[in-house]
Amino acid sequence: MRVADVVDVLERLAPPELAAEWDNVGLLIGSGDSTCRRVMLCIDLTPDVLAEARRSRCQLVVAYHPPIFKPLSRLTPAEAPVVVEAIRHGLAVYSPHTALDAAAGGTNDVLAEILGLGQCRPLEHTDASAQCKIVVFTPPGELSRVADAAFSAGAGIIGQYYDCAFFSHGIGAFCGGEGSKPTVGHAGRHEATEEVRLEMICPRADVARAVGAIRAAHSYEEPAIDVYPLADSFDARGMGRIGRLARPAGVDELVRRVKRALKLKHVLLASPPARPARVAIAACSAGSAGSMFRAAAAQGAAFYLTGEMRHHDALAATQLGLTVLCTGHSNSERVALGRLAERIVSRLPRLKLQLSQRDRDPFDIV
């Protein structure tokens, strides 16, 4: 197995085009052609975590936060010690960061599950979350080849499912003009042949690539391909999550759920003077997402879970009647690593995955 095989799975689970514009996601260190048998997952690639990966003989580290974030003007041990050490020891590093936050089944969906939210939708949609439906008509014998080509180009992903499609049988009719070379029948004659209608969802950002792959795999000189834009509101991808609790719960109960799931003894809580007795609608966004509290309040949330929030934003949130729970930046993200590991292994069962034991939030509340 190669690093590229793992990267392919990661980018299906968390498409890089979903990442924030300011982010730096993807394979940051190493070659996709390198052999990969063991992978370590962490939030931050610190020197301790890198040493742990080396002791465990990992060939790839999936570091949620990118160790190369801003452009490097010097690649020296003094300026970029972890990067230099990873290169020196042939360790590949991949970062999903905000792509995983926005993706269906990613960081924010895990937080939403902890809160017990249903009917979830993103707090903020990303441009790349817009979806289209691709429809193509193909001979029955070419269905698998054409579908596989489209899937490889990014089509057919719905939430945590991939290679999703629908097909139905029918009859296609045509007449080839002068100079045409039809796959079925002859130019200048009216022809009718059995065809399969193949339908797939595809991110708008991948449509051109998917259509190109379909054309390359198709035997027709001019395959009929339709692209229909879909309403963005139906897409489960985007930053943050907001939803309705299956059963309204008190603030104290929600705090206990979060502390238990994240294995925390202490959290920060900011409440309005009149705290609601029961919360029906709640929102969440991992990491440094305190500024999204206005979107949460505007959409009806009474409770907002995030990693960290500025002092004045906390004051403004409570004045809007919003209760805010802050867990510490990476504490709100680390809980998603186990889920990510499970999803990778389900697709690459021969791969050995482990969660770093040296990875931890830099802050302790004492």
What does 223-292 look like in DSSP terms, one character per residue?
--EEEEE--GGG---SBSEEEEEEEEE-HHHHHHHHHHHHT-S--EEE--SS--SSEEEEEEE-SS-GGG
- Topology of the domain covering 3-97+333-355: 3.40.1390
* SS3 (DSSP) at 41: strand
**Class level of CATH domain 104-124+238-327:** alpha beta
Task: Tell me the pLDDT tens digit for each residue of 65-97.
Answer: 999 998 888 889 988 999 999 999 999 999 999
Domain boundaries, the chain: 3-97+333-355, 104-124+238-327, 131-229
pLDDT of residue 70: 87
pLDDT of residue 172: 87
pTM of the model: 0.74
Domains 3-97+333-355 and 104-124+238-327 share a fold: yes
Residue 233 pLDDT exceeds 60: no
pLDDT of residue 113: 96
Task: Tell me the pLDDT tens digit for each residue of 282-323.
Answer: 999 999 999 999 999 999 999 999 999 999 999 999 999 999
Task: Tell me the pLDDT tens digit for each residue of 1-55.
Answer: 999 999 999 999 999 988 998 999 999 999 999 999 999 999 999 999 999 999 9
Long-range contact list for 187-194, CB < 8 A, 24+ apart? Answer: 193/139, 194/139, 194/140, 194/169, 194/170
Place of tokens 């014998």: 141
Residue 231 pLDDT exceeds 80: no
Q: What does the mean pLDDT of the chain come to?
A: 92
CA-based nearest residue to 332, from 124, 161, 129, 100: 100
pLDDT of residue 42: 98
pLDDT of residue 237: 75
pLDDT of residue 234: 53
pLDDT of residue 288: 94
Share of the chain above pLDDT 70, in %: 97
Task: Tell me the pLDDT tens digit for each residue of 120-167.
Answer: 999 987 765 578 899 999 999 999 999 999 999 999 988 778 899 999
pLDDT of residue 179: 74
Tell me the C-alpha distance between 192 and 334, whole Å.
57
- With cut-offs at 50, 70 and 90, classify the pLDDT of residue 264: very high
Residue 232 pLDDT exceeds 60: no
**CATH number at 131-229:** 3.30.70.120
**Span 251-258, average pLDDT:** 96
